[in-house]
Amino acid sequence: MAARLSWRAPHRLSPAVAVAAVAVALITLIPVFFVIQQAMETGSSEATRLLFRPKVATLLSNTVKLTLTVTIATAALGLAVAWLTERTDLPGRKVWSVLAALPITIPAFVASYGWVSLTTRVEGFGGAALILTLSHYPLVYLPVAAVLKRMDPALEESSRSLGHGPWQTFWRITLPQTRPALLGGCLLVALHILGEFGAFAMLRFSTFTTAIYDQYRLTFNGAAGSLLALVLVLFCLVLLLVERIVRGSDRYARVGTGAAREPRRYRLRHATPFVLLGLTAVAILALGVPLGTLTYWLAEGRSAAFPAHELVTTALATLKLGLGASLVTTVMALPIALLAVRQRGPLTTLVERSIYIATALPAIVIALALAVVTVHYLRPLYQTTFLLLIAYAILFLPLAVVAVRAAIAQVPTSIEDAARALGQRPALVMARVTLPLIAPGLGAAAALVFLSTVTELTATLLLAPIGTTTLAVEVWENTTTLSYAAAAPYAALMVAISALPTYLLTRRFGALSGSH
């Protein structure tokens, strides 16, 4: 009876939460409406000619193969590293936990620049799959490691006491517990791949994103670009449907914090040298190559004048945009996550899924859509920082929702019911009970958005107010003119700034095994 009550009470949430969630969803759909409107202006014969071309078939094949390959590879790598650092007697677990999270501080286009400057053999599908996997696997590792860290060790110990071996326990107990985080991370990886531009341009690998960029920026063919973007939207809908089906409706909340003790760790024994060798190889490929190349170009540029003033000005602008985007996006994510966890239904599913659709669009499409809308209907917002923050929110809202939703899902509704039974108003329950319990999730969401904002490139290029530049923009502008030494200081500072939220993600928000 209690279980049914926890699921059926729609009055748990104030109507204002639903209204806010719908409003957020509509904002994120603006670029989608823009793409559909532009595509509809193209006649059926012209649309058929543009879509059913050999080039489009090649782009579709490249995009699908790369997305599937990178998503599967990041899932396997992220899950394996999380399990090794959280459930085994791996020597130096603290160090490996930090090293596993650090690749998220290096933008994919910076990592690609490092590899390309080392060897052109990475250009093409193989290099793109390798570099994108190494750059994005922390999106799977971080949430899965956090879940493993918070799991009650008694669950796995009970399985072992019933005679189940390590693999049976992993498949029957551990993996189901991590499934929501694993699938959420995989979804984010897939959406990142669909919208990636800078890395593919560096690696000379053609996808829908690079083709759309060419159509908009080089040929100014809005119809062709919008039709290609519409294909990406349909691809995103398929991904969302698949993720929804696989994830199912199971929940894994618990009333208490479980046993406040270390889990029983599996002994690696003779496999230890091989595991250490594998983790070392991953660290070298994901961190050593891009950072080593960056160090080389910093040394090469010593003879040039060091742009101290420009570095400080650009870094401050980047920090302001990152902090602003973190606040705006996390606030926008809260009603969506609350609605998704506390009040399920067809409308909730539609609202939650809609925020992911725009993420499949390249940032250039999102930026152009916001520019067109503001020029025609909200002219005062054009060329403002607020408009750029909205673009960031549309791009990175799924990151925040995944983190906040995971935190809310682990808060039992019985705790909120008890507060209401004591006469507390819904707003006070939210402020005094729910928000303190999900504070780590809110912090993780803000940190993830900050990381993504600091390294965002395309939307910033198009929407930043005149006179505003960021570290990512400076890196891009210098690398496109082959001024690698000039780009190095900006890239190094960008990586350094990204290191702080990464540290918070690994230490404070539960992804570091040594912080029990």
Determine the pLDDT at residue 403: 80
pLDDT in tens, 294-325: 888 877 766 555 677 888 889 999 999 999 99
Tell me: the pLDDT tens digits for 423-471? Answer: 666 666 666 666 777 777 788 888 888 988 988 888 888 888 888 888 8
- For the ranges 17-21, 26-30, 129-133, 426-430, the lowest mean pLDDT is seen at 426-430
User: pLDDT at position 317, please?
Assistant: 92
% of the chain at pLDDT higher than 90: 15
User: Which CATH number does the domain housing residue 456 bear?
Assistant: 1.10.3720.10
**Residue with tokens 């914090």, as numbered in its chain:** 257
Per the CB < 8 A criterion, the answer to whether 59 and 211 are in contact is yes
Amino acid at 343: Q
Q: How many CB atoms lie within 10 A of CB 363?
A: 27
Within-domain flag for 82: yes
The partner residues of 266 in beta bridges, in order of sequence, read 88
Closest by alpha carbon to 340, among 1, 6, 17, 29? 17
Instruction: Give the residue carrying structure tokens 């090794």.
Output: 84
Q: Span 244-248, mean pLDDT?
A: 70
Tell me whether residue 488 is in a domain: yes
Torsion of the alpha carbons at 401, 406, 407 and 413, rounded to the nearest 10: 110
Q: Is the pLDDT of residue 55 over 60?
A: yes
DSSP structural state of residue 196: -
For the chain, helix, strand, coil in percent to 5 are 80, 0, 20
Whether residue 248 is predicted with pLDDT greater than 70 in this model: the reply is: no
333 lies in a domain? Answer: yes
Query: What is the three-class DSSP state of 266?
Result: strand
User: Dihedral sign, CA of 109, 115, 119, 125?
Assistant: negative
Residue 516 pLDDT > 50? no
- Tell whether pTM > 0.85: no
CB atoms within 10 A of CB 304: 11
Taking alpha carbons only, the member of 177, 196, 142 closest to residue 441 is 142
- Contact between 111 and 199 under an 8 Å Cβ cutoff? The reply is yes
Cα separation, 79 vs 142, whole angstroms: 9
Measured between alpha carbons, how far is 239 from 187 in angstroms, rounded to an integer? 7
What single string gives the DSSP state of each residue in 38-79? HHHTS-HHHHHHHHSSHHHHHHHHHHHHHHHHHHHHHHHHHH
**In terms of pLDDT, which residue wins out, 449 or 15?**
449
Who wins on pLDDT, 164 or 381? 381
514 in a domain, yes or no? no
* Single-letter amino acid code for the residue at 498: S
Residue pair 247/182 in contact by the 8 Å Cβ criterion: no
Mean pLDDT along residues 392-416: 79
Is position 259 within any domain? Answer: no
Average pLDDT, the chain: 78
- How confident is the model at residue 316, as a pLDDT? 92
Does a structural domain hold residue 310? yes
Q: How far apart are CA 250 and CA 245, in angstroms?
A: 11
Beta bridge partners of 88: 266
CA within 13 Å, CB half, 241: 6
Q: What is the mean pLDDT of residues 135-161?
A: 75
Give a yes or no: residue 260 inside a domain: no
> Is the model's pLDDT at 219 over the cut of 80?
no
Q: For residue 498, how far is the Cα from the chain centroid?
A: 14
Average pLDDT over residues 146-156: 69
Nearest-angstrom CA–CA distance, 428 and 439? 16
Tokens coding 299: 């040394």
The reply to whether 471 falls in a domain is yes
Least confident segment among 8-17, 271-280, 435-444: 8-17
pLDDT at 366 over 70: yes
DSSP string of 72-127? HHHHHHHHHHHHHHHHB--TTHHHHHHHHHGGGGS-HHHHHHHHHHH-GGG-SHHH
Report the pLDDT value the prediction gives residue 323, as an integer from 0 to 100: 93
pLDDT digits (tens, 9 = 90+) for 81-139: 998 988 888 898 888 988 888 888 788 888 888 888 788 888 889 999 999 999 999 88
Q: What is the largest CA-CA distance in the chain?
A: 74
CA 269 vs CA 85, 86, 274, 441: distances in Å: 15, 16, 10, 35
User: In the chain, how many domains are there?
Assistant: 1
By residue range, what is the domain housing residue 345?
Answer: 2-251+273-507
Q: What radius of gyration, in Å, describes the C-alpha atoms of the chain? A: 23
- Could you give the angle at which helices 15-28 and 30-40 cross, rounded to 10 degrees? 40
